[in-house]
């Protein structure tokens, strides 16, 4: 099994310190890991992409998306503009779509993406597809993104159900690279000390209930242990897909997380 990747850093204005851990695993039924993740100590950027299109194409799509998003964010001097993150996902979409168009063997390749960037006392979130961002604040776990799924589309527009067929929760209706243009959903929210954020692909969320995720995140275990526990639980429940998680804890400037009663290496 792969090992977690850790990052310790601080936000641009030193308002908070950030401790993050990323962990990706192929799962129990797949031969290739089509997920890609990014945990960046310079950009305060955290990113999960879940590729689709089969084996090499899905893996390539998620890798291309990560590269394009990172390059787009790194090219901007500002952390304060949510449009930077949105444009970076749009650029990833254009690059993957054009590559698949020029390489027929890759037609249909695409990827989900959920990206989070810390900006002082705020964070910017942008996503496409069904990779998710959760926030644990105190005892409450809240999903901050809404899946671009067929079932959610029917919930918003029930008149479409008869034309598009039966709703299936794991069928997504929006992804990076499938169309010439993509609508990127985005928001900016305030962060607080002791918030813990989880970015994950559906390899976790489809196999582990939110209540069990919250139970693991509420413990006083180090983030690396939490990440391993989440991946192990998804594998225990079948491991039918690749599994990727990133945990991001918001600490005070001293690096002390009073909620967990532990220092995290600062």
Quote the number of domains for the chain: 1
- Does residue 19 or residue 134 have the better pLDDT? 134
Whether residue 144 has pLDDT greater than 50: yes
Distances in whole angstroms, Cα of residue 100 to Cα of each of 60, 65, 120, 235: 11, 13, 38, 32
Rounded to 5 degrees, what are φ and ψ at 138?
Answer: 65, -130
Domain containing 178 equals 5-263
- pLDDT, mean of residues 104-125: 94
- Does residue 79 or residue 169 have the better pLDDT? 79
pLDDT 10s digits, 241-266: 999 999 999 987 665 544 443 434 33
Whether residue 13 has pLDDT greater than 70: no
pTM of the complete model beyond 0.85 = yes
pLDDT 10s digits, 153-204: 566 566 555 555 555 556 888 999 999 999 999 999 999 999 999 999 999 9
Rounded distance, CA 12 to CA 10, Å? 7
Q: Return the CATH number at 167.
A: 3.60.40.10
How would you label 139-171 residue by residue, b for 16+ Cβ within 10 Å and e otherwise? eebeebbebbbbebbbeeeeeeeeeeeebeeee
- pLDDT, mean of residues 223-238: 97
Look at residue 3 in the predicted model and tell me its pLDDT.
66
Rounded distance, CA 201 to CA 26, Å? 12
Residues near 27 by beta carbon (within 8 Å), at least 6 away in sequence: 33, 203, 234, 235, 239, 240, 241, 242, 243
Helix axes 210-217, 223-236, angle to 10 degrees: 150
- pLDDT, mean of residues 200-225: 96
């Amino acid at each position: 099994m792969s090992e977690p990747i850790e990052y310790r850093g601080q936000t641009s204005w030193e308002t908070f310190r950030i401790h993050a851990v990323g962990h990706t695993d192929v799962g129990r039924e797949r031969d290739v890991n089509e997920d890609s993740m990014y945990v960046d100590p310079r950009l305060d950027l955290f990113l999960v992409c879940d590729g689709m299109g089969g084996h090499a194409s899905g893996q390539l799509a998620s890798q291309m998306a990560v590269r394009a998003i990172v390059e787009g964010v790194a090219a901007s001097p500002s952390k304060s503009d949510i449009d930077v993150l949105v444009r970076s996902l749009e650029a990833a979409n254009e690059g993957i779509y054009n590559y698949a168009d020029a390489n027929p063997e890759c037609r249909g390749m695409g990827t989900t993406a959920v990206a989070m960037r810390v900006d002082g006392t705020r964070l910017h979130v942008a996503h496409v597809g069904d990779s998710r961002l959760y926030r644990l604040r105190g005892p409450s776990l809240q999903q901050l993104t809404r899946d671009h799924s067929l079932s959610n589309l029917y919930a918003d527009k029930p008149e479409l159900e008869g034309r598009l067929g039966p709703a299936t929760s794991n069928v997504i209706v929006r992804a990076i690279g499938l169309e010439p243009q993509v609508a990127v959903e985005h928001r900016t929210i305030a962060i607080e000390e002791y918030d813990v954020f989880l970015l994950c692909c559906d390899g976790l969320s489809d196999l582990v209930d939110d209540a069990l995720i919250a139970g693991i995140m509420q413990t006083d275990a180090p983030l690396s242990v939490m990440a391993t526990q989440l991946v192990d639980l998804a594998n225990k429940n079948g491991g039918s897909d690749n599994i990727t998680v990133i945990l991001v804890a918001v600490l005070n400037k001293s690096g002390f997380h009073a909620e967990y009663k532990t220092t995290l290496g600062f």
